[in-house]
């Protein structure tokens, strides 16, 4: 939409130095006013400065009268735009002092009226004569008070009109419908009315539809504003004319809590609607599956996860060993176990040895298609699993062991069975990690995870060693991230990022630090050999490999944080 500028300001210091107590100098900068057809109002028309005097309200122009004779309004000054200098449609009107009149006093409200078709010889509007009207708006944040202070210096002017530098005016823009001669003398006009209802929803990923009913804004239009829930600063998204009833906001962020409101505005006043809230779409972490060796002591596999939000969340946790034989692997864990520990607890709240011996129906209910978990093929196998129903924002660890102390390969997994759309305020997984021994060859740590939803997500992915803080860690970890796509010839893994030392990451280090602090990830020390990637990813299946530089081995930690 084309925007036009209008500045009404106090005179510059040099002019004010010669000001008397009975008059005020004005410098009026008129940027491309428009006539009734929307054409620039250049080299023609009349401009009037009107004071409201005692009643602080303005009459409307009528047939034969710019100011209603029955009102107490007073025309303070008149300018013939055809005689004012104009450069590219920009007027600088400097007609000298405007004296206080008998009725016009410091502190009165002011208004500007412009008539594109009147002349010095014809200042009598006919019925329906087009005109534009702008008064100060000191209510609802739409403008500063446009008044004359007692010392005769105009301190405040039109808050949102100028886009040029002026020490007396706040920068901004005004919609063309306010800077146009869109009203007609003698025709009904006046202050706008707020809508009877406003609503917002996200019909398409990344676009919020804001709509309203029942508003009325004669000779004006609407300004759509947005802020974060709990914030104080409203952002102007755009303006639409008075016939509009909706606005599409395509600048939303992922997983944000927004408030929207409508400001009905014309030359007479502005009215602010009540606000409506929406949480924009976000994707979620659907699962993490990490393959590695179950070893004794600090070298066992430990799955960590954080849930955040309101209400319950259904999760499936598994430690598979014998099942991996069906995938062509050997040297597997023979009898894995899995135990759930809330943060800080020394004893587990849930333990499972053989998955078919307990919670069988509950566990099977969490297999595909409710989650991405492929069913365990043998109910009598020694694989371990837990069906979990958790609530609130909490941190957990799930420790995988082996009754046979076989020190074999295992697959430690966690699946989110949430079925609601991810823009709801439901509980969800925001951080997934696995700690285990990083060997070489088939014994590196391989973590697979799924991003579920309709929009991209920002992820913080880390492979830690030195900063874990225990003995026997991987001295120099490196990570490689892959996206898996499925073709007619089978799955294809495409590398989309890799990192060795976190300070040599392809990402901006300041951004990594900022995101890390926001999601609760401890920032590695400067000079640390830990590895980090910050990536925007589409929904889909991903995996990343944690290995040691130069075939190094030791305890490592793979982590995935949802960063938006």
CATH code assigned at 236: 2.60.40.10
| Whether residue 274 is found in the same domain as residue 336 | no
Q: 223 lies in a domain? A: yes
- Residue 421 pLDDT: 54
Per-residue pLDDT tens digits for 124-135: 999 999 998 876
| Whether residue 81 is found in the same domain as residue 169 | yes
Burial of 332 (0-12, 13-18, 19+ CB in 10 A): buried
- Residue 463 pLDDT: 96
- Residue that terminates a domain, selected from 184, 209, 226: 184
Instruction: Report d(CA 64, CA 119) in Å as an integer.
Output: 14
- Residue 103 pLDDT: 61
- Residue 31 pLDDT: 56
| Whether residue 166 is found in the same domain as residue 224 | no
Buried b (16+ CB within 10 A) or exposed e, 511-542: ebeebbeebebebbeeebbbbbbbbebebebb
Per-residue pLDDT tens digits for 251-309: 888 878 899 999 888 877 778 999 999 988 888 899 999 999 888 787 889 999 999 87
Instruction: Report d(CA 122, CA 475) in Å as an integer.
Output: 89
Instruction: Report d(CA 27, CA 509) in Å as an integer.
Output: 50
**Region of residue 550 (phi > 0: left; psi between -120 and 50: alpha; otherwise: beta):** left
Q: 338 lies in a domain? A: yes
Per the prediction, the chain carries an average pLDDT of 81
Mean pLDDT on 347-359:
92
Spatial CA neighbour of 558 closest among 456, 481, 455: 481
Q: How many domains does the chain have?
A: 3
Q: 405 lies in a domain? A: yes
Contact between 178 and 221 under an 8 Å Cβ cutoff? The reply is yes
Per-residue pLDDT tens digits for 386-427: 999 998 889 999 999 998 877 889 999 999 998 765 544 567
Q: What percent of the chain has pLDDT over 90?
A: 46
Instruction: Report d(CA 262, CA 215) in Å as an integer.
Output: 10
- Domain membership of residue 379 as a residue range: 284-562
Per-residue pLDDT tens digits for 465-524: 999 989 999 999 999 999 999 888 888 999 999 999 999 988 889 999 999 999 999 999
Higher pLDDT, 488 or 3: 488
86-87/90-93 β-pairing: antiparallel
| Whether residue 366 is found in the same domain as residue 347 | yes
Per-residue pLDDT tens digits for 53-103: 777 678 889 999 999 888 888 888 888 888 876 655 555 555 545 665 556
Q: What is the 3-state secondary structure (H, E, C) of 56-120?
A: CCCCCCECCECCCCCCCCEEEEEEEHHHCCEECCEEEECCCEEECCCCCCCCCEEEEEEECCCEC
Q: What values do phi and psi take at 516, rounded to 5?
A: -60, -45
């Amino acid at each position: 939409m084309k925007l036009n500028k209008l500045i009404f300001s106090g005179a510059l210091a040099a002019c004010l130095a010669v000001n008397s107590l009975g008059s005020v100098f004005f410098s009026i900068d008129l940027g491309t006013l428009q006539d009734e057809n929307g054409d620039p109002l250049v080299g023609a028309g009349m401009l009037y400065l009107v004071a409201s005097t005692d009643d602080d309200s303005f009459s409307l122009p009528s047939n034969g009268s710019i100011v209603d004779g029955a009102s107490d309004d007073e025309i303070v000054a008149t300018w013939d735009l055809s005689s004012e200098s104009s450069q590219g449609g920009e007027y600088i009107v400097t007609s000298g002092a405007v004296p206080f009149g008998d009725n016009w006093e410091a502190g009165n409200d002011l208004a500007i009226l412009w008539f594109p078709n009147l002349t010095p010889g014809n200042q009598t509007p006919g019925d329906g004569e087009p005109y534009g009207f702008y008064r100060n708006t000191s209510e609802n944040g739409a403008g500063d008070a446009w008044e004359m202070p007692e010392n005769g210096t105009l301190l405040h002017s039109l808050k949102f009109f100028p886009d040029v530098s002026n020490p007396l005016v706040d920068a901004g823009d005004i919609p063309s419908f306010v800077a146009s001669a869109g009203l007609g003398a003698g025709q009904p006009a006046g202050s706008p009315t707020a809508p009877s209802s406003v609503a917002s929803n996200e019909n398409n990923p990344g676009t919020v539809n804001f709509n309203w009913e029942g508003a009325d804004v004669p000779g004006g239009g609407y300004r759509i504003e947005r802020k974060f829930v709990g914030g104080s600063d409203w952002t102007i998204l755009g303006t639409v004319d008075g016939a509009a009833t909706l606005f599409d906001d395509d600048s939303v962020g992922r997983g944000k809590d927004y408030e929207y409101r409508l400001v009905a505005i014309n030359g007479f006043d502005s009215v602010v609607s009540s606000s409506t809230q929406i949480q924009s779409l976000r994707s979620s972490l659907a699962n993490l599956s990490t393959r590695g060796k179950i070893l004794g002591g600090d070298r066992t596999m430990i799955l960590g996860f954080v849930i955040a939000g309101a209400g319950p969340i259904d999760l499936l946790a598994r430690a598979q060993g014998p099942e991996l034989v069906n995938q062509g692997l050997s040297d597997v864990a023979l009898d894995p176990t899995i135990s759930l520990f809330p943060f800080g607890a020394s004893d587990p709240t849930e333990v499972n040895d053989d998955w078919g011996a307990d919670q069988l129906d509950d566990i099977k209910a969490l297999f595909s298609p409710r989650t991405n978990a492929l069913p365990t093929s043998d109910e009598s196998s020694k694989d371990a699993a837990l069906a979990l129903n958790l609530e609130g924002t909490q941190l957990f660890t799930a420790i995988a062991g082996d009754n046979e102390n076989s020190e074999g390969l295992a697959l430690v997994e966690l699946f989110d069975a949430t079925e609601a759309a991810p823009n709801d305020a439901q509980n969800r997984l925001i951080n997934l990690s696995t700690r285990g021994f990083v060997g070489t060859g088939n014994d590196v740590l391989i973590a697979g995870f799924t991003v579920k939803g309709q929009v991209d997500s920002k992820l913080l992915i880390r492979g830690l060693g030195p900063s874990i803080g225990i003995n026997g860690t991987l001295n120099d970890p490196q990570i490689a991230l892959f996206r898996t796509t499925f073709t007619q010839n089978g799955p294809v893994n495409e590398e989309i990022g890799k990192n060795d030392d976190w300070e040599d990451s392809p990402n901006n280090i300041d951004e990594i630090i900022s995101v890390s602090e926001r999601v609760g990830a401890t920032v590695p020390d400067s000079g640390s050999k830990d590895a980090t990637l910050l990536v925007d990813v589409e929904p889909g299946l991903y995996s990343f490999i944690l290995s040691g530089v130069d075939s190094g081995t030791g305890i490592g930690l793979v982590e995935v944080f949802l960063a938006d």
